Structure formats: C-alpha cells, structure tokens
Structure 1
Amino acid sequence: MGWISLIKSYIQLVTVVFSLFVNSIFIFLVVTKSPKKLGNYKHLMCYFSFISMVYAILDYIVQPYIHSYRASFSMLMDLKGSAFENNPTVAFFLTASLTGCFASTIYAISINFVFRYFALQREGRLRYFSGKRLYLWISIPFLSGLAWVTNNWFLFSPNPEMTEYLRAEVKELYDLDADKMTYTGCLYWRTDVNGNIYLSKKDLIGAFNLIIIMMIPFFTILYFGSKSYSKITKLMSQGESDYSRKLQMQLYKALVAQTLIPMVFLFIPVGIFFTSPLLGVNIEWASFIITFFYSFYPAVDPIPIIMLIDEYRNAFFNFFRRAMSKNQVVSVVSIDLNYT
C-alpha cells in the first residue's frame, strides 16, 4: 500500500467513526429535544441524518479514489487483498451506490426546503407530509439514488478501453493494479482504430442523465429557499410570538447551512471534476483533495443544526456541563396558540 493510500485509509477511518458518532447524537437530540412545533419535520431530519450515516459507511467500505485524468473522470475502488477481490460485481455495486448517495443527499435537502415553505405558508399544506404521504416524500431520495446507480450500471461501468487509459496513471499515483480495481466513471474523448479522437456518445448521454437528475433538486432548493426567505421576512413584521419567529429563523439558517456544506464538500468540487474532462481541462492535481472532501462531508453535515437550534445546542453543551459540574442552560418555550 502506497503512502497516499495509507494516509487516506486512516483519515477515512476517523471520519466514519466521527460521522456515526455525530449523526447518532443528532438523531438522539431530534427525537428527545425537538420543539413540539416541528411535527413531522423531525422525521425528515432523522432520515437525512440516516442517509449521511449510510454514506459514511459506504465511503469507508469502498475507500474511493476520486480521480480526474485528462479526458476521464472516475471513482476507483481498490480490490487487491480485499474481500471483494473475487467479487468485482459486488464491489462495483457498492461504488455505484456510494455515488448514488450524492443524489440522495441533495434530494433530501430539497424536500426539507419544501416542508419549511409549507410550514411558513400556514395554509394547511403540511397535510401533504402527514400519514402515508410522508413515506412518498421519503421514497424520493431513495429513488433518485437508484436512478443514479442505474445510470452508472449501464453507462459508466468499467470497460477495457478506459481501464487501459487509467492503468499507468493509477499505478504511479496510488499504486493500484488496474486489473484488481473497479470503478464507475466516464471517458469522454476516445480514440478509434485509425487514431482519430471522437466524443463518446455513451459517456455523454450518461453525463447528461446525471445532470438532469441533479438539476431538479437544485431548482427546487432555489425556488422554495427564496420563497421561504420572503415568508420569514414577513413573519418578522407580524404579530408572532418571539419564540415562533426565533424558531423559524433558526430552522431556516440551519437548513441553509446544511445546504452550503454539501455544496462546498460535494457538488461544486465534484461538478468541476465531472465537467473538466469534457472541456479538455486536466485537473488531476486536485484528485487527492477532492477524495478527502467527499469523505469529510457526512461527518460535518449535522453540526450546523446542532449549533443553530437552541434546544439542540443547549442539550448538547449541557451534557458536557453536567460532566464538569457546571450550570446548565435551558431553552425558554412559550406557547403560541396561533401557530399552525
């Protein structure tokens, strides 16, 4: 194992342990310390945290190398000496599932924005998130992830031409044996038998499919995020209780912060990596950095909500205050009979 792989393995072990720890704490806080006004939003937050935990576990199992090299983009999994060395199909499915978490995450965030807007509207539309309808909303991130995996299975699976294209590079950088690895990825520009370079339609179609999958939640977030901000601004000038106004603003800030984290750690860097080979831009030098960004995300994602919502933050710090025999901080809750 090369020094890069060794360092990466230790860091990914730390991040998966920290991610499971933080997300478990978050779920506990949501279940036991949530304001009563959150309603079914508690279930959505727990579900989102559960996706992050699955993401972290898959990331540790796969231990991916996110690699951009000239005309190619790929997520690699080393099979040498692993339990999957003789089961490359299972290994590929795990790798594709890890990329599917990418889609599930942003769809889960977009659904949270829809819920928050309906809650701010106070027109009874939260009934669309009640009962069996809640399961329909919960199924959307799963189906989006499944669509991503299916696209990778049929269009971005390993092929001899791309394997040979990567062989020397992955051996030099990561000490990987191209015959003992699997990957999901694309090789946009290929060479025919006559030495002519052409744009691969298969890879282009696969890339287009993934872009379409991602545009839907992005526009959903932009639309409902802007509408929610407008509603909260009006709420501040209306005769609401201080508690209601404060809670709504805390929830909105937490949701925005929870959106910025995957933007910084996932979507912007991976989006650049995904499109650069198509445009002929070689940013191979950043592969190592992006690999760690991809692993760090589930470990830091729940932190903004814990820190920005009073009930969670106070309960979190009170645990340490009790351990140190210091005074505790409690949240003062007022009753708002006009809230719906």
Structure 2
Amino acid sequence: MTYDPMAYLWIPLPPADLKFNTGQNYLSSNLASICGLGNHIFEFAALYGLAKRLNRTPTFFIENGHHLKMLNRGKTTVPGLVDKFLIINGSLPSTIRNTTFQKGVCCTFDNPMRLESIKDEYLHLSGWLYQSWKYFPDMRSELRTYLSNSSENSNFGNLPRSDAETHVTCIHTRRGDFLEVGFYGSDPVFVRNALKFLNENEVFGSKKRKTVLFGDDVKFMKKVFEGSLLSTDENQEDATHFISKNSPTADLVYSKYQCDVVLISAPSSTFGWWMGYFSKGDKVYHMDIRYVDDRVYAVLNSGYGFVTFITDGPFFENLEYGLHGVSSRCCFVSMSYAVLIIHFVYRYLILFYPHHVDKMLKPLGVIVMTLFFLAHGAFWTWICEECLAPNEEIRDIIRPSFLEVHHVNSDHISLLTGQYRNASDYVVYKSWIGITSLTVFSMYCMTVYFVLGYKIMKKMNENQAASSISITLNRQLFKALVAQTCIPMFASFLPTIIAWYAPIFLINLTWWNNYVCNICLSAFPLIDPIVVIYFIPNYKNTILVWLRLRKQKVVTTTISIVSAPTT
C-alpha cells in the first residue's frame, strides 16, 4: 500500500466551540488551503473586502493541517492582512450552515449584494479561490501596507534597486506544474520579444535598464537571457539581467519597492498577478489570456486512477445533468464504433450476399441499424453512469489534485472516475468492472473490424474475372478498407486504453490525454469519410466539383447502330 506522508494534513480538527450572541457578525468561507501563495492572498484579501462591505468580522477556521500551513504562510507574507482575521482553532461546527456563494472556479465574481439580507451571526460561504479584484476594489494602497517588512524578506541579494538612475523591469515566469497539466507555461521567445517591445515603447530617459526574472524554474530562466546573474552571485556593475532565488515573500516585497514595470508571461499565474498588483510602478504587461487555449473536456490522472470531466457548457451548473452530459459525450466513442460496424457489414454483404443488401435499406433494416446504433451508445452510457460515476469517497480522493492542479473544487464538477487502488473495495471493484466492460466492448468492435475486413480483402483479391474498371475500383476500395480498419485502432482504441490503464502503473500521461487522446477522439468521426474520399477518385472529384475547384468532365458516348440484312 502506498503511503502518502502529506495525508495527515487532511485530518480535520475537532469542531470549534463557538460563542453566540456576541453582538458581532462573522464571515468565513471554505478555503483552497492546498493551493499556492497567490491563491491564499486572493482568499485573504477577498474575505477581508467582503467582510468590510457586509460589516462583519473576517474569520479563519483552522480546519486541518493544510489550513494551518496557509495561515502561517499568510502571516509570513501579509501579516497585516492576517491580523484583520479572527482565528479560530477548530473546524466549522455542523450547526453552521453553508451559504452558496462563488462557484469555486477561476476568475469569476459573485455579487455580494445578495449576502446583505442574511442576518446569521456566523455566515459561512461555500466558495473558494475568489480570484477577482472586484472583491476588494479600491484597496490597493491599503493591501500594499500589509506586506511583510521584516529584514529577512528585505534582503534581495545583488538584485538592482530602482532609483533616479536605474529602471527595473520585473518579469514573472511560471513553468513547473503548468506544463504537466496543459496550462500555458512561460515561453522564452515570448519573454524576449515582450521585453524588446517594452524597451522600444517605454520611456526610460537616460536611466540604466535592468531586468529581473522571477519564477519556479531557475534552469529555464538562465536560458531566457544568457549570462544572467543569480541574486546569490557576486555583484557586477555592468550586469543587465538578473534571476531571483529569493523566497516568494521576498519577491513580492521586492516588487513593491523596486519593480517599475511588471511583465506576466504566464497569464494564469496568481502569484504573477500579485507581483503586478503590489509593484512600485503599478504598470503591468501580460500575455492576453484570450490567446491561451482553455480545455473544456479533459482527462486528469489522479494517482492509481483517472478523471474525465467537463468545465463549462450547458450541463456545468447541474451535477445530475452534467453527469448525463459527460457520459453522453463519452458514448460518442461507442456510437462511432457502431457506424463503422454497419459500414463493414454493408461492404461484406455486397461481396458475399448481394441479395440481402436491399433489406438493409428497407424500413425494417433502417430501424434495426438505428436501434443497433442507439444500443451501442446506451450501453456505454450505462456503464459510465453505473460504474464510473463518483461517490463521496471518490470526490474526497480527487479533491486535493483538483485544487492543486486546476484550482477548482471538484465537488461542483461533473465527472467520471476510475480508481484502481488506494480506495475502498467497493470503489475499486466498481472501477475495475466499468473499465473492463468498456475494454471488452471496444475489443469486440475491433474484432468485428478485423474479421470482416480480412474476409472482404480476401474476397476482393480472389475476384480475378472482373473488368479492368472493376479491378481498379476494387484496388481503391482495398486501400480505403485497410485505412478504415486501422483508423479505429489508432484514433480511438489505443488512446482510450492508454488513458485508462496508465494510472495503474502510476504513469502520469496528462499531456497525452490533453493533446493526443482528446484530439483523436474528437477527430475520429471525421477521419473515416476523409480517408474514403482520398482513396476513391470518384468521391474526391465530386467534392472538388461541388467546391468549384474542378470543372465537371462531360463524357460523350457514341452508339452506332448497324442494320444487318435479313433473309
């Protein structure tokens, strides 16, 4: 059994012994305590801003070890802000109800006006993250004063100081887990081009230009600008590019006093956002987040398991409908299999039983094919919803991964999961039954393709008495058939099998799932007709004529009638 040394941090503290009828009103919230410093500051600042608006005392419940770590990190970085909170050493009592507020997803704002009518002495909000400046508007000057001013966090090493003779441009980078989960990570080409743009458009006068890079990957930052000095190196007067190896808190303090301009190269980074917010010059440049791909459908490895989920769309708001939505999306795989099986059966009947082909096109045949198509989808959907739908145990298991990777509360996400180990026997058995059923079902489809494909190709090769035109057409159909037999294997079967079974061996293939598996599954229904069109010139020429890319050829056939004398 795998031991997680951090698991003890999730052990909840006993419920706090609250006092009532104190004459004050309190505001608290669920917290993404497992996330990083940037998210922590957002939550502290947002709750403080909300409490001021609602005339309540911001309150922090130490629910578990992760909350304690968040609190200590907050005291180190923004001690003045944490001092505004009432700290309660204990978890939220069950007698305090959760008030639904803030969905717990990135960059959204929930209007606090609807909280003003609530008169409860203890108001506890269900949301977290609170990644919006609208929760603390017009509070920049105040929040900047809450940053740490300790000598420990004011030692910046050899990093340049902003003064009358020196202009400092601060560039925040983010790589690390961003690259693993498909978020946009800092690109050295963008960083260099962006700095060139700043140097050409910012007015520096006669000041010396100094650039400091911040981030979580020193090796990467060294490659961005060759010869950059580390903050721990000996100072060199002619150096122009520097790399900070200071603590995150020290980096924020440095930005407050020294950064004239801040460039955020990874737009999803909350820490980079706070560097710009606290900066001396209050001038921030960033990559436009609209040019960063957001994945609506994704697969997340969660250690001995996987998660398939949706993050937006018409089914997102309702968990029950959302489960049907993600299951229906997954069943497109089996329905694509059904269409190909019908196609192979049709080709098989043409060669072996041509007198039965008309039966497929009659109403009864169409009804049978439709029912077969729907049965494929219904079976896949039923397996997903019966065996892979999450229960409370599963949501507890995946919650830390979702918070750490996507900064989202998985309790509000519609998803399907498979957990092969480190869970109760019920969850493990159910997951194995579900994945095994889908695997066997997929293998049955692949077997039909290969068996019928082999028989069709063998029959076509044996047909030697055909005319030259028929032989040419058969050769084209043969090539198309080979491709159609291979496409399901490489565009659907293998990607899903790898995504399902890699977690068993603790292989993290998030990049494979996001960039290969999803694309293949989405493109699979389109690839098959394109292959047929490519290999059969008649189809290709017809499409080109429709698109007016080729003129239609008119073939004239002359028929000669010869009269013979009769006797």
What TM-score, normalized to structure 1?
Answer: 0.69
For residue 157 of structure 1, report the CA deviation from its aligned partner.
0.7
Deviates most, 116-125 or 277-286: 277-286
Name the CA shift for 1:171/1:258 in 2 (closer, same or farther; >3 Å): farther
**1:277 maps onto 2:503 in alignment:** yes
**1:76 maps onto 2:309 in alignment:** yes
**1:140 maps onto 2:372 in alignment:** yes
- Paired position in structure 1 for 2:471: 245
Decide whether the 8 Å contact of 1:311 with 1:331 is kept in 2.
no
- Paired position in structure 1 for 2:418: 186
**1:288 maps onto 2:514 in alignment:** yes
**In 2, Cα distance between the equivalents of 1:230 and 1:285?**
40
**In 2, Cα distance between the equivalents of 1:146 and 1:86?**
24
Aligned letter for 2:531? P
Between the two structures, name the one with larger relative contact order (CA 8 Å, sep ≥ 6): 1
**In 2, Cα distance between the equivalents of 1:136 and 1:151?**
22
Q: 1:263 aligns with which of 482, 489, 508?
A: 489
For residue 93 of structure 1, report the CA deviation from its aligned partner.
0.6
Name the CA shift for 1:75/1:92 in 2 (closer, same or farther; >3 Å): same
Aligned letter for 2:444? I
Name the CA shift for 1:153/1:275 in 2 (closer, same or farther; >3 Å): same
**1:92 maps onto 2:342 in alignment:** no
Decide whether the 8 Å contact of 1:76 with 1:181 is kept in 2.
yes
Gaps of 5+ in 1: 8-61, 334-340
For residue 329 of structure 1, report the CA deviation from its aligned partner.
4.8
Name the CA shift for 1:330/1:178 in 2 (closer, same or farther; >3 Å): farther
Aligned letter for 2:446? F
Q: 1:101 aligns with which of 325, 332, 335?
A: 332
Q: Structure 1, residues 306-330: CA drift from partner, whole Å, max 9, x if none?
A: 222222200222344x46xx64457
Decide whether the 8 Å contact of 1:310 with 1:331 is kept in 2.
no
1:177-216 correspondence to structure 2 within 5 Å? 177-192=409-424, 200-216=428-444
- Paired position in structure 2 for 1:318: 545
Aligned letter for 1:72? G
**In 2, Cα distance between the equivalents of 1:253 and 1:101?**
26
Aligned residues: 268
Give the 3-state SS of the residue equivalent to 1:200 in structure 2.
helix
**In 2, Cα distance between the equivalents of 1:203 and 1:258?**
31
Q: Structure 1, residues 21-79: CA drift from partner, whole Å, max 9, x if none?
A: xxxxxxxxxxxxxxxxxxxxxxxxxxxxxxxxxxxxxxxxx931122332112211115
1:114-193 correspondence to structure 2 within 5 Å? 114-122=345-353, 124-131=355-362, 132-192=364-424
**In 2, Cα distance between the equivalents of 1:292 and 1:113?**
25
**In 2, Cα distance between the equivalents of 1:175 and 1:242?**
64
- Paired position in structure 2 for 1:231: 459
For residue 201 of structure 1, report the CA deviation from its aligned partner.
1.1
Name the CA shift for 1:169/1:223 in 2 (closer, same or farther; >3 Å): same
Give the 3-state SS of the residue equivalent to 1:76 in structure 2.
strand
Decide whether the 8 Å contact of 1:77 with 1:182 is kept in 2.
yes
Decide whether the 8 Å contact of 1:314 with 1:329 is kept in 2.
no
Q: 2:344 aligns with which of 103, 113, 134?
A: 113
Decide whether the 8 Å contact of 2:315 with 2:325 is kept in 1.
no
Aligned letter for 1:278? I
For residue 303 of structure 1, report the CA deviation from its aligned partner.
1.1
Aligned letter for 1:95? V
Q: Percent identity?
A: 23
Decide whether the 8 Å contact of 2:387 with 2:431 is kept in 1.
yes
- Paired position in structure 2 for 1:305: 532
- Paired position in structure 1 for 2:67: none
Name the CA shift for 1:72/1:122 in 2 (closer, same or farther; >3 Å): same
**In 2, Cα distance between the equivalents of 1:199 and 1:180?**
20
Identify, as 1 or 2, the structure richer in helix. 1
Name the CA shift for 1:298/1:124 in 2 (closer, same or farther; >3 Å): closer
Q: 2:299 aligns with which of 66, 86, 91?
A: 66
Aligned letter for 2:537? D
Aligned letter for 1:135? I
Gaps of 5+ in 2: 1-105, 108-177, 185-294, 558-567
Decide whether the 8 Å contact of 1:189 with 1:200 is kept in 2.
yes
For residue 231 of structure 1, report the CA deviation from its aligned partner.
0.3
For residue 331 of structure 1, report the CA deviation from its aligned partner.
8.6
Decide whether the 8 Å contact of 2:182 with 2:514 is kept in 1.
no
Give the 3-state SS of the residue equivalent to 1:186 in structure 2.
strand
Name the CA shift for 1:129/1:83 in 2 (closer, same or farther; >3 Å): closer
Give the 3-state SS of the residue equivalent to 1:270 in structure 2.
helix
What TM-score, normalized to structure 2?
Answer: 0.43
For residue 268 of structure 1, report the CA deviation from its aligned partner.
0.5
1:40-51 correspondence to structure 2 within 5 Å? none
**In 1, Cα distance between the equivalents of 2:434 and 2:487?**
26
Decide whether the 8 Å contact of 1:72 with 1:188 is kept in 2.
yes
Aligned letter for 1:173? V
Name the CA shift for 1:331/1:67 in 2 (closer, same or farther; >3 Å): farther
**In 2, Cα distance between the equivalents of 1:163 and 1:199?**
11
**In 1, Cα distance between the equivalents of 2:518 and 2:403?**
17
**In 1, Cα distance between the equivalents of 2:388 and 2:348?**
37
Name the CA shift for 1:297/1:221 in 2 (closer, same or farther; >3 Å): closer
